[in-house]
């Protein structure tokens, strides 16, 4: 009996010992790179436990303007202080250098717990002389380095977007386990957010040093540089932004005191965004406070008389009678009381130029009574309701959007309003429930200037590898399946030209501009949305532009001054006279 018991326990011991040996072999030999249900890389994790590091680059992709100039990323010189100096003390030679630069670092030997940039400790950039001195000397625990800073863009903030550290959002966005990967900064707006999956990269560059079991620096081990030079990653986004024009446009907007609103400038032929300005600027400390992160150029607003362009297009193609009669423009929108603006009796062309509400209320009423869907049909033909941003399949991303934050516009808020005379008339002049985005309005003007050719708007033309070879090209995305006739576009061009020469846009006369003004009630007393949308030069048009000053009084609106100054500056850049 005793012999059986001894054999049984001996068997259990052998089995247990065998299991332990197998477990150790699995950890040490068999599953070193994919261990357990979480597929943990034990080699990488062991290195992390035995070392500490500081990033020289985030490894994130870079944004370029249309000419290849870097946007929002800079190379700076800095000095790294390692916890090694806790053990050996701050070298006197380095103290002397700091004193020469009048830099005071109190109790640095005891307070330094991890590798830290000197610039962050003193709150300013490192002097080049100090950097060169440290670089030319071998000072224990101190190293001169060059690093890339991924800062918020100084211009084009809403267009380019910003990046922030948010581990929870990172794991939710990419559905990755915290055990498997370190969270990386993510784009939270603009192109940084739209193209975040492409801009993410593991190719960060670091300075690495060894630590003991308690995390203290080990003496005698040199700091090592890690991060391979990769010819492909991280990628670069070649945006459509024209940096000199963007810079100029932002200065014009700010110098004229436009506080809420902005502008969109498109290249008519390619439908590329050359400049996009949104105000107010992003609050870097609290981006979501007061919705400062929102790009106003992608948000729908009441367009006012801008919408008369849609009504005019519908009338040209469907109701020639409206084009050949006159209208009493001394009466209001409903034709039952005197108008605040006494314009007299005007024909169709004059009514458009002077923005006569009674004329377009009357025309719109006839059009809708004959075809209740006509406004939707012509906003579609002109590409006004959107979204108008480039959309398509990119690798494994179906329906990829370059402007994911772009909102869709609308014509009717209530389907029964098509049967209500006053609602039809209000809708005909871009009030009631009509809302469109500035980007869509700019694209509509480009469509008209390009003889009715519809096309989606691009913000990025290429994704490039590090060696400047092309990873992906976003080709022009045209849509001519449902458009206005070329003759209609030509007639609209004539109407838009008349607005500037003989109508509400006369302050822009002489600059070669054609366009339409709009002043929309907002529901706030004394506050209106002030628009001007058009294109230039009117002969061989190249640019389409919208300027909108939101929630502004009539006397303080800066729409025309901004529009005029931007056009003048672009003309000068192109060597065109402003006479």
Same domain? 461 vs 319? yes
pLDDT value of residue 31: 57
Give the C-alpha separation, 249 to 275, whole Å: 7
pLDDT of residue 61 exceeding 70: yes
pLDDT value of residue 178: 66
Domain assignment of residue 271, yes or no: yes
Same domain? 428 vs 564? yes
**What's the mean pLDDT in 66-80?**
85
pLDDT value of residue 391: 95
Same domain? 402 vs 526? yes
Domain assignment of residue 142, yes or no: yes
Domain assignment of residue 509, yes or no: yes
Domain assignment of residue 178, yes or no: no
Nearest 10 degrees: Cα torsion 532, 537, 539, 545: -40
51 noted as active-site residue: no
3-class SS shares of the chain: helix, strand, coil, % to 5: 40, 20, 40
Domain assignment of residue 5, yes or no: no
Same domain? 275 vs 142? no
Give the residue from 129, 150, 171 where a domain finishes: 150
Contacts of 420 (CB under 8 A, 6+ apart): none
Same domain? 110 vs 251? no
Give the C-alpha separation, 341 to 281, whole Å: 36
Determine which of 145-154, 280-289, 302-311 has the lowest per-residue pLDDT on average: 145-154
pLDDT value of residue 361: 98
pLDDT of residue 73 exceeding 60: yes
Same domain? 248 vs 129? no
Phi and psi torsions of 328, nearest 5°? -85, 100
The CATH number linked to 97 is: 3.90.1310.10
pLDDT of residue 43 exceeding 50: no
Domain assignment of residue 31, yes or no: no
Reduce the DSSP state of residue 272 to 3 states and report it.
strand
- In tens, the pLDDT along 528-544 reads 999 999 999 999 999 99
Determine which of 296-310, 437-451, 564-578 has the lowest per-residue pLDDT on average: 564-578
Residue 440 belongs to what H/E stretch? Answer: helix 438-449
pLDDT of residue 167 exceeding 50: yes
Catalytic residue among 53, 148, 305, 517: 305
Give the pTM: 0.84
Q: What residue has token string 């045209």? A: 478
Beta-bridge mates of residue 162? none
Give the residue from 150, 183, 198 where a domain finishes: 150
Q: What residue has token string 């190719």? A: 203
CA–CA–CA angle 329, 335, 341 (5° rounding): 35
Same domain? 272 vs 141? no
Give the C-alpha separation, 189 to 287, whole Å: 10
- In tens, the pLDDT along 114-151 reads 788 888 877 788 888 888 888 888 777 788 888 877 77
pLDDT of residue 101 exceeding 50: yes
Domain tally, the chain: 2
- What's the count of helices (H) and strands (E) in the chain, helices before strands? 21, 22
Closest among 221, 211, 403, 195 to 298, alpha carbons compared = 403
Burial 168-189 (b: 16+ CB within 10 A, else e): eebeeeeeeeeeeeeebbbbbb
Give the C-alpha separation, 572 to 565, whole Å: 11
Domain assignment of residue 317, yes or no: yes
Beta-bridge mates of residue 473? 462
Residue 543 belongs to what H/E stretch? Answer: strand 543-552
Phi and psi torsions of 117, nearest 5°? -80, 135
Domain assignment of residue 533, yes or no: yes
Contact 142, 83 (CB under 8 A): no
pLDDT value of residue 311: 98
Residue 84's domain comprises 73-150
The CATH number linked to 328 is: 3.40.710.10
Give the C-alpha separation, 513 to 11, whole Å: 95
Q: How far apart are the first and last CA of the chain?
A: 117
Same domain? 135 vs 274? no
- In tens, the pLDDT along 350-379 reads 999 999 999 999 999 999 999 999 999 999
Average model confidence (pLDDT) across the chain: 87
**What's the mean pLDDT in 180-189?**
83
pLDDT of residue 172 exceeding 50: yes
Determine which of 105-114, 179-188, 476-485 has the lowest per-residue pLDDT on average: 105-114
Give 283's Cβ-side CA count (13 Å radius). 8
Q: Rounded to a whole number, what is the largest CA-CA distance in the chain? A: 122
- In tens, the pLDDT along 207-223 reads 666 655 544 455 444 56
Give the residue from 103, 131, 150 where a domain finishes: 150
Reduce the DSSP state of residue 185 to 3 states and report it.
coil
Burial 126-158 (b: 16+ CB within 10 A, else e): beeebbebbeeeebbbbbbbebbebeebebbbb
Instruction: Give all strands (DSSP E) within 332-380, no chain letters.
Output: 345-347
pLDDT of residue 47 exceeding 50: no
Determine which of 160-169, 437-446, 449-458 has the lowest per-residue pLDDT on average: 160-169
pLDDT value of residue 139: 79
pLDDT of residue 492 exceeding 60: yes
Burial 382-420 (b: 16+ CB within 10 A, else e): bbbbbbbbbbeebeeeeebebbbbbbebebbeeeebbee
């Amino acid at each position: 009996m005793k012999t059986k018991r001894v054999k049984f326990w001996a068997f259990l011991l052998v089995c247990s010992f065998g299991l332990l040996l197998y477990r150790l072999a699995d950890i040490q030999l068999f599953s070193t790179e994919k261990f357990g249900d979480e597929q943990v890389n034990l080699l990488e994790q062991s290195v992390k436990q035995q070392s500490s590091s500081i990033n020289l680059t985030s490894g994130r992709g870079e944004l370029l303007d249309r000419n290849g100039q870097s946007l929002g990323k800079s190379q700076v010189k800095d000095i790294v202080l390692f916890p090694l100096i806790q053990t050996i003390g701050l070298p006197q030679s380095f103290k002397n250098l700091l004193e020469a630069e009048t830099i005071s670092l109190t109790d640095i030997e005891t307070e330094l717990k991890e590798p830290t940039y000197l610039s962050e400790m003193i709150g300013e950039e490192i002097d080049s002389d100090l950097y060169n001195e440290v670089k030319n000397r071998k000072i224990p625990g101190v190293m001169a380095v060059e690093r890339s800073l991924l800062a918020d863009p100084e211009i084009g903030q809403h267009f380019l977007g910003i990046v922030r550290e948010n581990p929870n959002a990172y794991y939710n966005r990419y559905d990755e386990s915290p055990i498997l990967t370190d969270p990386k900064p993510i784009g939270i707006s603009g192109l940084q957010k739209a193209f975040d999956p492409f801009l993410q990269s593991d190719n960060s560059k670091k300075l690495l040093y060894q630590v003991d079991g308690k995390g203290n620096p080990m003496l005698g081990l040199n700091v090592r540089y890690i991060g391979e030079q990769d010819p492909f990653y991280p990628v670069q986004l070649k945006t459509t932004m024209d940096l000199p024009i963007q810079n100029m446009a932002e200065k014009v907007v700010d110098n004229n005191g436009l506080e809420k609103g902005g502008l969109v400038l498109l290249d008519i032929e390619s439908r590329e965004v050359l400049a996009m300005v949104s105000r107010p600027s992003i609050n870097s400390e609290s981006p979501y406070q007061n919705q400062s992160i929102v790009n106003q150029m992608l948000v729908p607003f009441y367009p006012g008389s801008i919408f008369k362009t849609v009504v005019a297009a519908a009338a040209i193609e469907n109701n020639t009678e409206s084009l050949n009669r006159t209208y009493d423009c001394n009466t209001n929108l409903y034709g039952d009381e005197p108008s605040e603006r006494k314009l007299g009796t005007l024909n169709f062309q004059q009514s458009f130029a002077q923005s006569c509400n009674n004329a377009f209320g009357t025309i719109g009423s006839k059009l809708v009574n004959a075809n209740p869907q006509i406004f939707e049909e012509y906003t579609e033909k002109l590409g006004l309701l959107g979204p108008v941003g480039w959309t398509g399949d990119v690798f494994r991303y179906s329906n990829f959007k370059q402007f994911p934050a772009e909102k869709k516009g609308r014509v009717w808020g209530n389907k029964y309003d098509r049967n209500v005379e006053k609602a039809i008339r209000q809708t005909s002049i871009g009030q009631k429930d009509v809302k469109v985005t500035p980007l869509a309005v700019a694209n509509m003007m480009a469509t008209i200037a390009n003889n009715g050719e519809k096309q989606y708007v691009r913000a990025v033309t290429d994704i490039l590898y590090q060696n400047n070879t092309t990873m992906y090209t976003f080709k022009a995305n045209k849509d001519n399946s449902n458009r206005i006739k070329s003759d209609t576009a030509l007639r609209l061009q004539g109407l838009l030209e008349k607005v500037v020469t003989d109508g509400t846009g006369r302050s822009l006369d002489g600059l070669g501009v054609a366009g339409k003004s709009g002043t929309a009630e907002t529901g706030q007393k004394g506050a209106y949305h002030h628009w001007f949308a058009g294109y230039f030069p009117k002969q061989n048009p190249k640019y389409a532009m919208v300027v909108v000053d939101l929630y502004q009084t009539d006397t303080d609106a800066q729409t025309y001054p901004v529009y005029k100054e931007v056009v003048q500056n672009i003309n000068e850049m192109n060597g065109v006279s402003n006479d």
